Amino acid sequence: MIGMDKKRKIESCLAGTVFFIVLILIDQFTKYLAVTFLKDNGPFIIIDGVFQLRYLENRGAAFGMMQGKQYLFVAVAAVIVLLIAYFYQKMPMTKKYIPLRICAVLLCSGAIGNMIDRLKLNYVVDFFYFDLIDFPIFNVADCYVVVACIAFVFLILFYYKEDDDFAWISIN
């Protein structure tokens, strides 16, 4: 019989894996839709002067920085995913750490979603554009990463305030 802690860890890892796969599928499906309906067409206006869908092939990182460094981005994403996976399985399997596990899955899904594009296409498909503030064009995977990072900061500042909340972190 599997111990309760081991069973909880297996269930958490399975749930995280399913969530991870679903998020990647959503990201890839939205990029497929962008290629199918937006590529070689003008922007699709959602709210005039505010928000539109506009196809872009991004060969750089966030905000188009470091153009053409696809393999560097893939390597960095792979290292990040491996580190997050390592810490995910080391996290205590209590309800208190569910938000942190969700952040980990969101971050990994975003990294892998864009990594798939980089490996398959040599660029990332972006399509969300906030015209009102002239914000750089982005995609669903980028949303995952940003939401995860913002949530992580709030969790660290306001939820995991105790000294022992991260005592489980060690490289041993």
DSSP string covering 12-30, please? HHHHHHHHHHHHHHHHHHH
Active site residue 165: no
> Angle at which helices 98-121 and 140-154 pack, to 10 degrees?
150
Catalytic one of 5, 48, 134, 142: 142
Among 5, 126, 134, 164, which one carries the catalytic annotation?
Answer: 126
Helix, coil or strand: residue 44: strand
**CB atoms < 10 A from the CB of 7, how many?**
12
Burial of 138 (0-12, 13-18, 19+ CB in 10 A): buried
The question of whether 134 is a catalytic residue gets the answer no
Q: Which token pair is 4?
A: 């309760």
The residues annotated with a catalytic role in the active site are 126, 142
